[in-house]
Every structure is written in structure tokens, then in C-alpha cells.
Structure 1
Amino acid sequence: MNQDQDRPLTITPDALPEVITRYLKAHRAHDTAAAVTSFADGATVIDDGSTYQGIAAIEGWLNRSATEFTYTIELTEAQQTDETHYVAVHHLEGDFPGGTVDLHYRFALRGGLDLIERLVIEP
């Protein structure tokens, strides 16, 4: 799709694959049970310098992230790098250190686009 791998294609948020929008909606609602169903069995999440491998570890991370701070989250941009890699940029405001941040949620989907294989969250 995008010939220049260093320059993702900006897309509308509603053009994100269903599994990503399902995960993001569940994450915003702090619905861990629904969010974890978006991940493949051997999936990996990297957030704030920590790596979570497998469904049980990801579920623990989701539970902690839902209760650690109070914040609002707004999807501000979406990008597609290739057929299985997407970025969702979120603006967060809350009671965490710094109070505001823009985070890039970098998704790698399993072939067939049905489940999240890897998620890296970074500024």
C-alpha cells in the first residue's frame, strides 16, 4: 500500500481495522475482559518501558492501567504503515506525572487482521 515505509499514510480513525477500534473502545471504557479478546495468544505489549507477553500478562497490565491514574483519552490521528501495521495517536490529560501527553499506539496485526500481535505505546 504505502511504498515509503518511513512515512505512514494518514487515514481517518474509522478506517482503522475493527480489532483495533474494538480494543480502543474497550480500553477507554476500562473493560478489561473485552479489551483482552483483541489480542492473539502470544501477543506482546510494551508500555512505559515494560514488556507484557501473553494474555495473562496483558490482562494484568490492562487492569493496572485502568486504575493507576484518572485521565481522559482522545483519538487525534490514525496512520497505516503497511497492511498489518497501524498507529493510533491519543491525547491524554489526567492526574499522571506531567498531566498531558500524546501517545502513539503502534499496532502489529496478525495476518488476516483479526487479532493484535504486538502493541507498543510510546510518546
Structure 2
Amino acid sequence: MTTAEWDALPGTVKTFMAALDAQEFDRALATFTSDAVVTDDGRDYAGTDKIRTWLATAVTEYTYTATFTGASATDGGVDVGQHLEGDFPGGVVDLNYRFTLDGAAIRRLVIEP
């Protein structure tokens, strides 16, 4: 699958991305396995406690808007593109959210340019 269609994404990924944008941390956290790992800005956050801390700080540190730019299927999940504009250093960035799924839950998420 390569698509620009939001509706074609797995439900878990759509739930996570929507919860992230809405700063609904408990809802976002509920999409992960208990032993999930998130890598953001070169740092790993392993397990739900560390991911909860990451969610609460990373998302609220800056004000920004995010626009879905497309997605593609991978062997274990999906890659989602987002264009962000805001008050963070540089002001504009295109990010890839690389999801690895375990059933309907997120086992691994890597966020990188």
C-alpha cells in the first residue's frame, strides 16, 4: 500500500496520530504494547512509563500543526509522513513515523526526518 488516504491506515495508527495531535496521552498510550519502544530525536523510550513521559513532554514542548502527507506499508506495519509547522527550532519539518505493529498494537515507533 502506498496511499495518500488517511482512511486506509490501520485503526491503531489513526488512533495514535489523532490522540497525539489532540494531546490525549492516555488514549495514545493505549495503542502500544506494554514492552513497546519509541525512538524520537535519537532517544529510546522503552515501556509504558517512559512512553507516557515522552508523550507528556514531546507533544507539549512546542506549538505546531501537523498535516498528513501520505503512507506506505512495510513488512511489519506502516510508515506515515507528517509535515509539521510551529515554534520549534527551524519552524518546519517533514517527519516519518515508522510503526511496527504486533497484532493491533504498536510494538515499535521510530520518528525521524
Tell me, yes or no, whether TM beats 0.5.
Answer: yes
Kindly report structure 1 stretches of 4+ aligned residues shifted beyond 4 Å.
none
Counterpart selection for 2:100 from 94, 104, 108: 108
> After the TM superposition, which residues 45-60 of structure 1 pair with which residues of structure 2 at under 5 Å, given as runs?
45-60=38-53
* Rg larger in structure: 1
Gap regions ≥5 residues in structure 2: none
Gap regions ≥5 residues in structure 1: 1-8
**Identity within the alignment, %:** 46
Deviations 1:15-61 (A, max 9, x none): 11100000000000000010000000000000001100000000000
Using the TM superposition, give the Cα deviation of residue 66 of structure 1 relative to its aligned residue in structure 2, in angstroms.
Answer: 2.0
Could you tell me which residue of structure 1 aligns to residue 88 of structure 2?
96
- TM-score, L = length of structure 1: 0.88
Query: What is the CA–CA distance in structure 2 between the aligned matches of 1:122 and 1:99, rounded to whole Å?
Result: 16
Amino acid at match of 2:56: N
Mapped pair 1:120 → 2:113: no
Using the TM superposition, give the Cα deviation of residue 10 of structure 1 relative to its aligned residue in structure 2, in angstroms.
Answer: 1.0
How many residue pairs match? The answer is 112
Mapped pair 1:27 → 2:20: yes
